[in-house]
Amino acid sequence: MTRQPSEPDKPSRRILLKSITGASFLSALGAPIPFLGNLPTGLVPVALAQGTSSLSQQKPGLTVLNDRPVNMETPPHLLDDAVTPAARMFVRNNGLPPASVDAHSWNVRVDGEVETPLDLSIDDLKTQFETVSLQLQIECAGNGRRFMKPAARGNQWSFGAISCATWTGVRLRDVLDRAGLKENALYTAHYGADTHLSGDPAKHPISRGVPIAKAMEPHTLIAFAVNGDDMPPLNGHPLRLVTPGWPGSCSQKWLTRIEVRDQIHDGAKMTGQSYRVPRAPVHPGASVADEDMAIIESLPVKSLITAPQTGIRVSTGDTIEVRGHAWAGDLDVAALDISIDFGASWSPADLSAPTNKYAWQHWRSEIRLPEAGYYEIWARARDAEGHMQPPIPPGWNPRGYLNNMQHRIAVFAL
Q: For residue 236, what is the domain's CATH number?
A: 3.90.420.10
The pLDDT value recorded for residue 84 is: 96
The pLDDT value recorded for residue 139 is: 98
What average pLDDT does range 266-286 have in this prediction? Answer: 96
Contact 152, 107 (CB under 8 A): no
Confidence class of residue 190 from pLDDT cuts 50, 70 and 90?
very high
Going from the C-alpha of 376 to that of each of 26, 297, 363, 393, 411, the distances in angstroms are 14, 32, 18, 18, 6
248: containing domain: 94-134+162-295
Domain assignment of residue 224, yes or no:
yes
Instruction: State how far Cα 234 lies from the chain centre.
Output: 16
Domain assignment of residue 3, yes or no:
no
Instruction: State the Cα–Cα distance between residues 47 and 312, nearest whole angstrom.
Output: 10
Q: What confidence tens digit (pLDDT) does each residue in 196-234 have? A: 999 999 999 999 999 999 999 999 999 999 999 999 999
Domain assignment of residue 16, yes or no:
no
**Segment (H or E) for 364:** strand 361-367
Domain assignment of residue 221, yes or no:
yes
Instruction: State how far Cα 47 lies from the chain centre.
Output: 22
- Judged against a pLDDT cut of 70, whether residue 10 lies above it is answered with no
Domain assignment of residue 166, yes or no:
yes
Q: What confidence tens digit (pLDDT) does each residue in 51-89 have? A: 433 333 332 489 989 888 989 999 999 999 999 999 999
For the chain, give me the number of helices (H) and strands (E)?
6, 22
Higher pLDDT, 50 or 137: 137
Confidence class of residue 387 from pLDDT cuts 50, 70 and 90?
very high
Instruction: State the Cα–Cα distance between residues 13 and 15, nearest whole angstrom.
Output: 5
Count of domains in the chain?
A: 1
Mean model confidence pLDDT for the chain? 90
Give the pairing type, strands 107-112 and 255-261. parallel
Q: What is the largest CA-CA distance in the chain?
A: 72
Domain assignment of residue 267, yes or no:
yes
The pLDDT value recorded for residue 35 is: 84
Domain assignment of residue 359, yes or no:
no
DSSP string across 146-192? GG-SS--SS----S--EEEEEEEEEEHHHHHHHH-B-TT--EEEEEE
Mean pLDDT check: name the lowest of 25-39, 285-299, 337-351. 25-39
In percent, the amount of the chain with pLDDT more than 90 equals: 82
CB proximity list for 83: less than 8 A, separation 6 or greater: 135, 164, 165, 166, 227
Confidence class of residue 20 from pLDDT cuts 50, 70 and 90?
very low
Domain assignment of residue 349, yes or no:
no
The pLDDT value recorded for residue 110 is: 98
Mean pLDDT check: name the lowest of 10-14, 109-113, 165-169. 10-14
